[in-house]
């Protein structure tokens, strides 16, 4: 237990450092060092490379985590087998990539022709990220998660910062920056690889005939099922920026990416709370305690919504002042309403609570898979509809709309099948409390420095939030719960 706690603490620290470093990169270093077209290219190539990873991995990462405990020996053979499946998946993706290369070029040739020059980088990023994901899953099976997290969340972002910093100093040109991305991902992969060799667990064994009966078929079947859900989820996360590049321009994607990262702050507390809740939900299902699940479902909805809507109000009230500190803000401030709509989508997601987690641990887990795939197709269709009309704001509106539909369907399904409902009168009280604080956005004291306005507006939001919380008797349990769980939460 001590090892698990130690790994959890280290992983949490590395994750938060990675978040801070990521925001420094996206909100300051990149827009300061790169022009909008370069930044759009930089983001689009990485997003394309990462988009292909789950399609190449074929769900092997989840399969390793699920089936590794069933093997007391032959673990190296299992790793070798898993690695081979992933490489075959990469081969399949590569064949499709080159087979449809002309069509892929056609997507970007008109509005973002610069992307076409670096399509070769995409597959190399996919390959190195794929291998890293398999090694991460293998390390996780030995309860060694902290160091791989360091290389993925901190080291990779740090090397990217160094790469862009070298460009800023004029030592390399932008083409070399893009090629340098391959080296950055390769070095991060090498770090995890060397770590596993140092642990003495990374060995190759190609004697695959001694697995337990039915092991390989069960592993492949489970991996392929999870592959569909993982691929669809990744598509949902990455497709917006890629479609903005394809349908509008690279400059527009640069603006969209920075705004999107700002809005992601809204959902950060959800990640910690969700991770803590999953084993509890699984335990309640094992004991058939649906009443306890419904209580937890409602509590988490209120607690997530309470803190996340406060974060949203704080960000939106000072959005103009926040953009003041982004280099070349006259370009990037066009993404202001993207922040609002993406943030609104995150509020929809947290309000509907842990519906996905409940579905995954219930006997209806296949419905979550089907719905995730349907959502990935729907968001593409909605983007094709809204982006030509509203540009980058159309992509953000589409994301929020699909998030509402996605969660609404899961809500109705869980209510019909298991009689679960996350909403109560407290939900309306929290929504009113948070919404009332948005009026601070309209206040601006012209003679104050932007930092002064941020402080003033933040104090008004916090004051209003506390006042309404006292009036409606909200907040005490939520704050106590969040602080307690964040202290205990792992990676």
For the residues 248-252, what does the mean pLDDT come to? 94
**Six-digit token string for 296:** 């937890």
In this predicted structure, which of 248-257, 259-268, 411-420 has the lowest mean pLDDT?
259-268
pLDDT at 88: 94
- pLDDT category at 80 given cuts 50, 70, 90 is confident
How far apart are the C-alpha atoms of 323 and 454, rounded to whole Å? 11
Percent of all residues in the chain with a pLDDT value above 70, rounded to a whole number: 92
- pLDDT category at 491 given cuts 50, 70, 90 is very low
| Among 243, 291, 303, 279, CA closest to 478 | 303
**3-state secondary structure at position 142:** coil
pLDDT at residue 322 greater than cutoff 80: yes
pLDDT at 6: 56
pLDDT at 484: 58
The 10s digit of each residue's pLDDT in 303-313 is 889 989 999 99
The 10s digit of each residue's pLDDT in 103-122 is 989 989 889 999 999 999 99
In this predicted structure, which of 68-72, 142-146, 232-236 has the lowest mean pLDDT?
68-72
CB contact at 8 A, 437 and 465: yes
CB contact at 8 A, 67 and 217: no
Determine whether 13 is exposed, middle or buried from the number of CB atoms within 10 Å of its CB (0-12, 13-18, 19+).
middle
| Among 130, 191, 197, CA closest to 156 | 191
pLDDT at 489: 43
pLDDT at residue 5 greater than cutoff 50: no
pLDDT at residue 34 greater than cutoff 90: yes
pLDDT at residue 275 greater than cutoff 70: no
In this predicted structure, which of 27-31, 71-75, 138-142, 380-384 has the lowest mean pLDDT?
71-75
- pLDDT category at 4 given cuts 50, 70, 90 is very low
How far apart are the C-alpha atoms of 214 and 84, rounded to whole Å? 18
pLDDT at residue 166 greater than cutoff 90: yes
Taking the CA atoms of residue 438, residue 442, residue 447 and residue 451 in that order, the dihedral angle to the nearest 10 degrees is: 30
Taking the CA atoms of residue 204, residue 206, residue 210 and residue 212 in that order, the dihedral angle to the nearest 10 degrees is: 70
pLDDT at 423: 94
pLDDT at 2: 46
Q: So where are the chain's domains?
A: 1-237, 248-491
In DSSP notation, 378-403 reads: HHHHHHHHHHHHHTHHHHHHHHHHHH
CB contact at 8 A, 368 and 360: yes
Q: What is the pTM of this model?
A: 0.85
pLDDT at 216: 82
Torsion region of 288: left, alpha or beta (phi above 0 gives left; psi -120 to 50 gives alpha)? left
329: Cα separation from own chain's centroid:
25
Residue appearing with tokens 């087998």: 81
- pLDDT category at 168 given cuts 50, 70, 90 is very high
pLDDT at 379: 93
pLDDT at 174: 95
pLDDT at residue 23 greater than cutoff 90: no
Mean pLDDT (the chain) is 86
Beta strands in 64-170 (DSSP E): none
CB contact at 8 A, 303 and 273: yes
CB contact at 8 A, 294 and 286: no
For 361, other C-beta atoms within 10 Å of its C-beta total 21
């Amino acid at each position: 237990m001590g090892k698990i706690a130690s790994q959890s603490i280290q992983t949490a620290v590395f994750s938060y450092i990675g978040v801070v470093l990521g925001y420094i990169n996206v909100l300051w270093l990149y827009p300061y060092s790169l022009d909008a077209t370069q930044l759009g290219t930089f983001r689009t190539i990485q997003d394309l490379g990462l988009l292909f990873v789950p399609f190449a991995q074929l769900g092997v990462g989840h399969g390793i985590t699920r089936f590794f405990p069933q093997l007391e020996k032959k673990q190296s053979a299992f790793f070798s087998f898993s690695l081979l499946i992933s490489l075959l998946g990469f081969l399949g993706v590569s064949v499709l990539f080159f087979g449809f290369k002309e069509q892929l070029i056609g997507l970007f040739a008109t509005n973002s022709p610069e992307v076409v020059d670096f399509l070769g980088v995409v597959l190399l990023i996919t390959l190195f990220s794929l291998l890293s994901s398999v090694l991460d899953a293998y390390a996780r099976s030995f309860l060694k998660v902290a160091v791989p997290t360091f290389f993925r969340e901190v080291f990779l972002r740090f090397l990217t910062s160094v790469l862009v910093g070298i460009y800023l100093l004029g030592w390399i040109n932008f083409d070399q920056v893009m090629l340098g991305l391959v080296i950055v991902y390769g070095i991060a992969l090498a770090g995890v690889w060397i770590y596993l060799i140092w642990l003495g667990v990374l060995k190759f064994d190609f004697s695959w005939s001694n697995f337990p009966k039915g092991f390989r078929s069960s592993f492949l079947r489970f991996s392929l099922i999870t592959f569909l859900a993982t691929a669809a989820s990744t598509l949902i996360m990455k497709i917006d920026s890629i479609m903005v590049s394809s349908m509008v321009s690279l400059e527009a994607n640069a603006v969209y990416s920075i705004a999107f990262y700002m809005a992601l702050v809204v959902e950060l507390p959800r990640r910690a709370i969700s991770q803590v809740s999953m084993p509890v939900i699984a335990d309640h299902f094992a004991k058939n305690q649906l009443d306890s699940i419904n209580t937890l479902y409602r509590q988490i909805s209120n607690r997530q919504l309470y803190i996340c809507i406060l974060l949203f109000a704080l960000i939106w009230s000072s959005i103009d002042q926040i953009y003041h500190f982004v280099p070349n803000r006259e370009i990037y401030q066009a993404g202001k309403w993207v922040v609002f709509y993406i943030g609104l989508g995150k509020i929809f997601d947290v309000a509907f609570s842990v519906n996905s987690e409940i579905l995954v641990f219930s006997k209806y887990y296949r419905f979550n898979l089907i719905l995730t795939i349907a959502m990935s197709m729907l968001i593409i269709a909605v983007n094709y509809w809204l982006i030509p009309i509203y540009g980058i704001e159309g992509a953000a509106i589409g994301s929020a709309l699909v998030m509402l539909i996605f969660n609404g369907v899961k809500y109705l399904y869980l209510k019909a099948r298991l009689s679960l409902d996350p909403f109560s009168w407290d939900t309306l009280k929290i929504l009113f409390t948070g919404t009332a604080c948005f009026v601070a956005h309209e206040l601006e004291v012209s003679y104050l420095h932007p930092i002064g306005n941020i402080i003033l507006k933040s104090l008004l939001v916090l004051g209003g939030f506390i006042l309404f919380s006292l009036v409606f008797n909200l907040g005490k349990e939520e704050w106590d719960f969040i602080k307690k769980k964040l202290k205990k939460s792992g990676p």
